[in-house]
Amino acid sequence: MKKLMAANWKMYKTWDQAVDTAEGLVGLTADKLPDDREVLVFPPFTALKGVAQALSADGFSAGGQDYYIDQEGAFTGEISPMMLKDAGAAYGLTGHSERRHVLGETDEFVGQKTAYGLECGLKVVLCVGEKIDERKSGKVEEVLEHQLRVGLKDVPRDVAPDRLSIAYEPVWAIGTGEVAGPGEIVDAHTFVRKILVSVFGEKGNEMRILYGGSVKPANCGEIIALDNVDGVLVGGASLESESFSQIVLA
């Protein structure tokens, strides 16, 4: 299983800035990228095509940060999996905490998007994670199990395992500098693995589970070596090619 080193650029970067960063990243990593690593960048939609072109080297791909659950239609402001693929995206992201908690997406809607993206031929990274009050009240597993079972409800049980990844992103660790501890990461990832196996059988062991939340060059090596950590999803530290390249090669 290749480790998936993913960058989520959120609502940052114009076209030129995004293409520059993507080209810089390829320049710093392409000839050193180990065979067991894959690099993925989720730029803003407006820069997707340019970034996908810049990431045309082997082992690199681009993805869309979001999409709607239809191919086309009267859905002002939305974008479809077909359009993402047309712009060069191989992946789509669903369930990010900012979409759940800032933009009000429900677990059910996240589940519809996850299944629809896969049906349309995207690979999908489904994000899950608890808020700090949920962790403090001992509800981590309950929250993760609900987000996963609802989020995966309509995903075909025979989906190819390399097409579906889960990103565990505790909400309290996103953008805060407060990275989850190794024990917290291993416990959550082990639990996610258990649910994946209960949903998909043995194939659940071949699906990647990424960690996200204040990953930096200084902590990535330790995180990526933990049990059941098959990659990372990085926000702030992925915005500069130098810093993300250190993470990719950590």
Phi and psi at 7, nearest 5°, equal -115, 130
- 109: how many CB neighbours lie within 10 A of its CB? 18
Two tokens at 53?
């072109």
Binding track over 52-91 against ligand 13P, x by CB under 6 A: ----------------------------------------
- With 0-12 CB in 10 A as exposed, 13-18 as middle and 19+ as buried, what is 139? middle
Task: Give the N- to C-terminal CA distance of the chain in Å, as an integer.
Answer: 17
Query: If binding is defined by CB under 6 A, does position 246 make contact with ligand 13P?
Result: no
Q: Contact region for ligand 13P (CB under 6 A) — 78-86, 182-190, 220-228, 229-237? A: 229-237
Classify residue 179 by its DSSP letter.
Answer: P
77 annotated ligand-binding residue: no
Cα 77–Cα 78–Cα 82 angle in degrees, nearest 5: 140
Of 188, 233, 247, 248, the residue at the interface with ligand 13P (CB under 6 A) is 233
Query: If binding is defined by CB under 6 A, does position 217 make contact with ligand 13P?
Result: no
Query: If binding is defined by CB under 6 A, does position 212 make contact with ligand 13P?
Result: yes
Of 39, 235, 245, 250, the residue at the interface with ligand 13P (CB under 6 A) is 235
CB closer to ligand 13P out of 105 and 169: 169
Instruction: Note if 96 is an active site residue.
Output: yes
8 annotated ligand-binding residue: yes
Instruction: Note if 146 is an active site residue.
Output: no
Q: Indicate the helix (H) or strand (E) that contains 223.
A: helix 217-224
Phi and psi at 146, nearest 5°, equal -65, -45
In whole angstroms, the minimum distance from the beta carbon of 214 to ligand 13P comes to: 4
Classify residue 201 by its DSSP letter.
Answer: G
Of 38, 66, 169, 230, the residue at the interface with ligand 13P (CB under 6 A) is 169
Measured distance CA(217)–CA(73) in Å, rounded: 42
C-alpha dist (Å) from residue 32 to 8, 21, 104 = 22, 17, 41
Catalytic, out of 38, 98, 169, 189: 169
231 annotated ligand-binding residue: no
236 annotated ligand-binding residue: yes
Cα 220 to chain centroid, rounded: 16
In whole angstroms, the minimum distance from the beta carbon of 6 to ligand 13P comes to: 8
Catalytic, out of 96, 98, 105, 189: 96
Q: Contact region for ligand 13P (CB under 6 A) — 110-118, 130-138, 148-156, 207-215? A: 207-215
